Amino acid sequence: MADARETTPSRTHPTVPSHEDRPVYVIGGGPGGLSAAYALRAQGVRAVVLEKSEHVGASWRRHYDRLRLHTTRRLSALPGLAMPRSFGRWVARDNVVRYLEKYTEHHGLEVVTGVEVSRVVPATDGTGWTLHATGGRELTGSAVVIATGYNHTPHIPDWPGRDAYAGELLHAREYRNSAPFTGRDVLVVGVGNTGAEIAVDLVEGGASRVRLSVRTTPHIVRRSTAGWAAQFTAILVRRLPVGLVDRLARTMAKVSVPDLSAQGLPRPDTGLYSRVNEGAIPVQDVGLIDAVRKGRVEIVAAVDGFDDGKVVLVNGDRVGPDVVIAATGYRSALEDIVGHLGVLDERGLPVVHGAGTQQNAPGLYFTGFTTPISGTLRELALDAEKIARTIARDTTRQPSRTAD
């Protein structure tokens, strides 16, 4: 088996474990993968993280500069290491990256960088899984945890006329800060947390005009009210009936969030928790409400396409911004890796995640592919420990079939 580069606290270029070692392979060196590796190690199970980039926390390094966690520092820590108090309550992007680096070092995790897994198949001997990776590597593990993340591959809709559009069009992943857009007219497409925050950042950074294209009116919640974080409420109500939470959230919204109907953002006609179960988490307010109320961020209709240098909206309006920033989400891009195993749903997401596995794919686990109302990092940490306990209880459970 070929060697690969590996980053550990003590050595820079050790070799990948031998084929016979059969550790648990964890694909992805972000929060989900690192927490799973630590939890497995705490259970006495060897875990090796495979990360395609050169550093852990690659996706966090690419986020826009002003990003902060919308969940509290204390409830965002991964298993076995608290986040420093000096990071503040709402941890900045750069400090999340520092924490992930420290987490890897503190726990002495085995992380192999520069290795991308292209396909996972059952091992030829009927036990474990074989991973096909860069450089022709074939790595066989006793189990596999896929933690490549919900936000893996940027997605821009195939709008009519998009390919012929001569203006500047970029995905939100390419956005770092407002500096390149000072004095420019910008249309942000998509009103999730990313789109909302980029719109506010552009306004504060001196863009001449900022419009926010909205297809479905989002639920907007205050990140914190009188010191009480929205995450605390989310944790308390997560196990309650969906309808009850929808009613409670509607009442809270009327008290804490002003009616922005006159500005183009009416209150949603579907419940908050019902939306969460469909994969749409609420927008946490970090300045959007005030920006919309004051007319600094203009709400416009959804994008229908591009024509003659203009952006065509679904209501027939045409706008001519200097720049279009598509905050239109990501794809998990799991099809090539595991799509042949029958473990994905019609959206390309795992049918089973966390500590569960499908009967036809025992020993194959997924983490980080949901959008929990109680906080992604918190749930990743809980999932990691559940997955580790499950694997530790039965390290011999393997698929009994031949590879494709």
The answer as to CATH 3.50.50.60 being correct for domain 155-329 is yes
**Predicted pLDDT of residue 150:** 80
- Which one is the CATH code of 19-152+332-393: 3.50.50.60, 3.40.630.30, 3.30.830.10, 3.40.190.10? 3.50.50.60
Half-sphere exposure of 319 (CA within 13 A, CB side): 24
Q: Tell me the whole-structure pTM to 2 decimals.
A: 0.88
Mean pLDDT per block of 10 residues along the chain (404 residues) reads 40 41 93 98 96 95 94 96 97 97 98 96 92 94 94 92 93 97 98 96 97 96 92 93 95 94 95 90 95 97 96 97 96 94 94 93 94 91 96 64 41
Please give the pLDDT value at position 395: 67
Domains 19-152+332-393 and 155-329 in one fold: yes
pLDDT attached to residue 21: 65
Provide the pLDDT for residue 277. 87
**Backbone phi, then psi, for 401, in 5-degree steps?**
-160, 170
- Distance between CA atoms of residues 386 and 289, nearest Å: 39
Residue in 253, 279, 108, 303 with CA at minimum distance from that of residue 192 = 279
Segment 144-177, tens digit of pLDDT: 999 998 888 899 999 999 999 989 999 999 999 9
Compute the distance between CA of residue 37 and CA of residue 31 in angstroms, rounded to an integer.
Answer: 10
Torsion angle of alpha carbons 178, 184, 188, 192, nearest 10°? Answer: 30
Query: In this predicted structure, what is the pLDDT of residue 1?
Result: 38
- Residue spans of the domains in the chain: they are 19-152+332-393, 155-329
